[in-house]
């Protein structure tokens, strides 16, 4: 497992990312042109995320939201700023394609725990923090078992289970499961009423409930 995780998997990731970038270049170029036409500027969304051993990486995605503001000048809620084109990119997971550059750079793997926001770092338990013992991935075990439709505790259980079971066969199974999910558009929840609460808010609410209880 150590041989696969430390040497074979990173090499396969980079080779596959390079080949896919070549193969998908016309599609990427088309999306970039549509992005420029719709958004006018900043067609990419670049966000800092904890990577391997919590080293900060910068994950690249296609932007799916505009910069519309309310009367006071504050940005509208995220779900009100998603463009119809952006919703399509999310539904088809095409917004994730620029992350192939992250894989080629060695920041991401194709399969691993999804990189979460930097602001969540102080809220992890020691057990949950183990998700950073491997490279984060474009997809993972949690993504083929519910994606946005499952809660935080369950997501972390899947992340830790992946770390324990990491192997070529596990990765292939997750990749095939991801393709099926994307083609069926399963597990992607655009309904604001059902969107999972951000992890820091979830933990603050949980601590508050524990104190009251």
- 53 Rama sector, left if φ>0, alpha if ψ -120 to 50, beta otherwise: left
Position 208 in a domain: no
Q: Is residue 141 part of a domain?
A: yes
Residue 212 domain-assigned (yes or no): no
In a domain, 77, yes or no: yes
In a domain, 201, yes or no: no
Residue 167 belongs to domain spanning: 2-189
In a domain, 29, yes or no: yes
Structure tokens at 35: 């992005």
The number of folded domains in the chain is 1
Which DSSP category does 194 fall into? Answer: G
Over range 100-114, report the average pLDDT: 97
Residue 134 is assigned to a structural domain of this protein: yes
Domain-located, residue 33: yes
Query: pTM of the entire structure?
Result: 0.88
Among 9-23, 74-88, 170-184, which is the least confidently predicted range? 74-88
pLDDT at 147: 67
d(CA 79, CA 65): 8
% of the chain exceeding 70 in pLDDT? 91
């Amino acid at each position: 497992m150590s041989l696969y995780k430390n040497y074979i998997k990173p090499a396969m990731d980079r080779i596959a990312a390079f080949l896919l970038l070549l193969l998908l270049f016309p599609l990427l170029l088309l999306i970039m042109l549509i992005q420029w036409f719709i958004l006018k500027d900043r067609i990419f969304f670049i966000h800092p995320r904890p990577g391997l051993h919590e080293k900060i990486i910068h994950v690249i995605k296609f932007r799916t939201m505009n910069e519309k503001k309310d009367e006071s000048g504050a940005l509208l809620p995220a779900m009100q700023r998603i463009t119809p084109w952006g919703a399509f990119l999310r539904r088809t997971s095409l917004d994730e394609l620029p992350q192939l550059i992250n894989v080629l750079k060695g920041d991401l793997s194709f399969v691993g725990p999804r990189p979460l926001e930097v602001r969540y770092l102080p809220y992890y338990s020691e057990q949950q923090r183990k998700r950073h013992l491997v490279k984060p991935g474009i997809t993972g075990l949690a993504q083929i078992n519910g994606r946005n439709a499952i809660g935080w505790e369950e997501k972390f259980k899947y992340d830790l289970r992946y770390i324990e079971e990491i192997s070529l066969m596990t990765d292939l199974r997750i990749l095939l499961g991801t393709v099926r999910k994307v083609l069926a558009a399963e597990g992607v929840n655009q309904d604001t009423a059902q969107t999972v609460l951000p992890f820091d808010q979830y933990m603050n609410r949980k601590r508050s409930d524990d104190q009251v209880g």
